[in-house]
Amino acid sequence: MDVTCCMNCQNKPLFLMVDKDTNGESHIGNISALPSEKKGVFNEMFKHVFVELFGEHTVCRNFLMLTDEDSAPYKPIMDSIATRVEYQQIKHMLCMFHAIAKKFKEKIYPQLPHLQGEYKLNYNGEKYGTYYYFGHNLIHKNSNTLWM
């Protein structure tokens, strides 16, 4: 589940829910233009709209909700899991990008030693060829080889 802000012709937040079935195939479960990204909207959506739209039986078959770090849907999801019978089997997790990759870039990457300027390196750290540090990458001067 995710919300993109003002990316449609109505200039409203667009909610997208993708479902994965037991065969591993993904399907669009819901696309909705939301009036806002406030917690009250998500609260109504999880507690009432999804149950009415999909039915109790379908909601009960959901086992995992992946979201980003946005706080607006998080509390309503956790409240629904705690209070609604249809949601009690559901586990909530952050998606891999927000849970691991983003945290690595924010907290660990800045503490690593970084190369500055022009370097001549090979796989063993020995000088070989001319490389330039560009952003987070090394680029070979002559072959445009990118080293992440």
pLDDT digits (tens, 9 = 90+) for 58-107: 888 888 888 887 888 888 999 999 999 999 999 988 777 766 777 777 77
| Same domain, yes or no: 91 and 127 | no
Q: Are residues 117 and 89 in the same domain?
A: no
Helix H or strand E encompassing 134? strand 131-134
Whether 81 and 46 share a structural domain: yes
Do residues 32 and 82 share a domain? Answer: yes
Q: How many CB atoms lie within 10 A of CB 124?
A: 6
17 and 46 housed in the same domain:
yes
Same domain, 121 and 56: no
Please list the residues that pair with 33 across neighbouring strands: 14
pTM score, whole prediction: 0.61
Say whether both 97 and 141 belong to one domain. no
Number of domains composing the chain: 2
Asked if residue 137 and residue 99 are part of one domain, the reply reads no
Q: Domain of 123?
A: 113-147
CA distances, 63 to each of 54, 71, 81 (Å): 15, 21, 11
Section 38-43 average pLDDT:
91
More reliable by pLDDT, 122 or 1: 1
Considering the domain architecture, whether residues 63 and 136 belong to the same structural domain is answered as no
| Average pLDDT of the residues of the chain | 76
- The answer to whether residues 105 and 117 belong to one domain is no
Per-residue confidence (pLDDT) for residue 147, from 0 to 100: 43
Contact 74, 67 (CB under 8 A): yes
Residues 25-63 as b/e (b if ≥16 CB within 10 A, e otherwise) read eeeebeebebeeeeeebbbebbbeebbeebeeeebbebe
Question: Considering only CA atoms, which of 21, 17, 15 is closest in space to residue 3?
Answer: 15
CA quadruple 104, 105, 108, 109: dihedral sign: positive
How many Cβ atoms are within 10 Å of 6's Cβ, its own excluded? 9
Are residues 42 and 15 located together in one domain of the fold? yes
Based on the fold, state whether residues 12 and 51 are members of the same structural domain.
yes
